[in-house]
Structure 1
């Protein structure tokens, strides 16, 4: 295998050739009207960060826009309740580099944002995400370095929105937990999950 590894950027570029013009001109350095429209339609994104412990990719979802715009250079993302691993937040505090992939159900396109982030406890920022008296514990403040659309080929190949429900034979989260820790009753975990999630969504 080692004989076939690509270890030189020039060799990699020679293999793939020049990028298409559209892939270069699509990049903006801040929110434009159309990129703003697209991102504000997204209720789901994947957040990627890097820190001293390695890399992390985290799904984020909301019942409305997943982010708010502070200004054309800045996005705000609430950190709603999760499992308290804080992998994303830890990486942001340690490193600050961040990438986001915004998706909208039914669209095979993805809009990507790269930039830097900080974790804020500013009461005014927390209040912007008030949910009937509930507020996030922190807000991720993202400074945009670049925003651009992603070619639709990946989602088309995967049939992400057209393949139908393929989850029937997947192991449950309880089963995955029980596989790692024998003392966990996977069936009990799965049975209790719905009620627990309803009480702790925000």
Structure 2
């Protein structure tokens, strides 16, 4: 047998999970989890829809994901590419997950729950940044919170400065677009990129 096809086969291969890993999955935030969310400037949003899965990065100043209470979070939607893949999924299926990362910290926090897209003026105001309101906010109802250990970050050397990759050693965004589009002005794109970043983040 070279492929696992049943849950029983999977259980035999891995055995039982440690009791500690089961007990740390909680149905609401505790104070240490609040501290992690408030310190995080980057979260990955996972959602599912009729066309499959989506995993999308979200980032802003630490604390941009706001805690309304111990079972409710608020995630403002900042300007992006307007594909709105995650939002389309959430309209059709509210199930979603968040993975919070904190620079320099190996541990992460995973939250599973259900989201709704809100235009409530009070919630939009809470998401204001750089003087601008988000177009919408996700109000997230927490089902489970799970504190993830640092093994993946340690193995990957994620925050190890000596293992950082020089950006110039990889294809630029312009180089990638040139491979996708038949006609693409890389020089113009990269010349204007910094200006776009300064004016379109919010």
The alignment's TM-score, normalised by the length of structure 1, stands at 0.95
1:175 counterpart residue number: 175
SS in 2 for 1:168: helix
Distance, in Å, in 2 between the alignment partners of 1:21 and 1:64 is: 32
1:112 counterpart residue number: 110
Name stretches of at least 5 consecutive residues in structure 2 with no aligned partner: none
Distance, in Å, in 2 between the alignment partners of 1:144 and 1:171 is: 39
Distance, in Å, in 1 between the alignment partners of 2:79 and 2:189 is: 18
Post-superposition Cα deviations, 1:28-64, rounded to whole Å, max 9, x if no partner, equal 1011111111111111111111111211111110123
Contact 1:175 / 1:187 at 8 angstroms: preserved in 2? no
- CA-atom RMSD, angstroms? 1.2
The alignment's TM-score, normalised by the length of structure 2, stands at 0.95
Aligned length: 200
Once the two structures are overlaid, the 10-residue window that deviates more, 41-50 or 167-176, is 167-176
SS in 2 for 1:105: coil
Contact 2:100 / 2:110 at 8 angstroms: preserved in 1? yes
SS in 2 for 1:92: helix
SS in 1 for 2:25: coil
Contact 2:109 / 2:145 at 8 angstroms: preserved in 1? yes
Once the two structures are overlaid, the 10-residue window that deviates more, 134-143 or 165-174, is 165-174
Name stretches of at least 5 consecutive residues in structure 1 with no aligned partner: none
